[in-house]
Structure 1
Amino acid sequence: MLTSLLIASAALSQPSLETCRVIDVPAERLACYDRLAGREEAAPEALALEAAAPRSTLAAPKSEEELKAEFEAKRELVKSGDAPAIYSDITEIVVDRTDHLTIILDNGQVWRQLSSDRPIRVNSKKPPKTVTITEAAMGSYRLKLDDSRQSIRVRRVK
């Protein structure tokens, strides 16, 4: 028993690459490598970076109350008309074989009508020139051509 303690203390005072490699805590592992390299203590800036670094990249899950409050806030923005909107000119409208639209805007964005949404007709002799896209409930988007009363549900492709 005494022999294993002496070996363990010798290993701690004179670490090897293997003993440093198996240390889980990054600051302690760095200090071990520093001792192995002949430095008495780790560089202060490395310890400061370790202390400032987050332990996990995953965000804590939101509680049910937080999710409901966020949803209600978005719903109120949409109802009041204060939701952020995109106003843009249309570069091109492509109608697929199922009469669903793909709209290319002058800012480079491409929006496609959801297949579950009812197709709308576009007048090919007088195509719409502008579009308004607003955020709707549950993270979806609504698109209105020119100032029409009719809107379609879309998703951004590009």
Structure 2
Amino acid sequence: MIRFWARLAVGVAAIVALAPAGHADVWSDLQACRKLGDAERLACFDRVLAQHDTAAAPVATRPEAPAAVKPTFGEDRLPQSETAAKEPESMVAKVASVRWNAFKHFTVTLDNGQVWRQLDSDTVTADLAAAATVKITRGFLSSYSLSIEGAWGTFKVKRIK
């Protein structure tokens, strides 16, 4: 701690020594400020610097308060209570229409208006027809799987509408 104060004193002395002529009294003014209480001392230092610096910038004002943070910020990481409403883990719907792309991946429109597309990374071809009943379930890391009632296997899908 003593080394810190010694370095600070040497630094201030060097600044005062290198100051242009006419600023020799800065050191004595700063010494006078050191004898004051905390709040007065800070005001005294600001006043001395403003008096002795011909190109002094205005004394800094307190920074403005940060913008209000939304009260919901970070809630997604809070532990959920058992009474909190949870989204369903799956849904069942009828297929209203099916479209196929060049890679034989499907896009289905369900009777509830939702549209789901088979992921390009899913290499299995589905045997899917209109009016089929499908079940879509939540998977790992926000993924979804679609299974066709009465058929074997699941297909990785994502909701597009």
**TM-score if structure 2 supplies the norm length?**
0.48
**TM-score if structure 1 supplies the norm length?**
0.49
More RCO (CA 8 Å, sep 6+): 1
Larger radius of gyration: 2
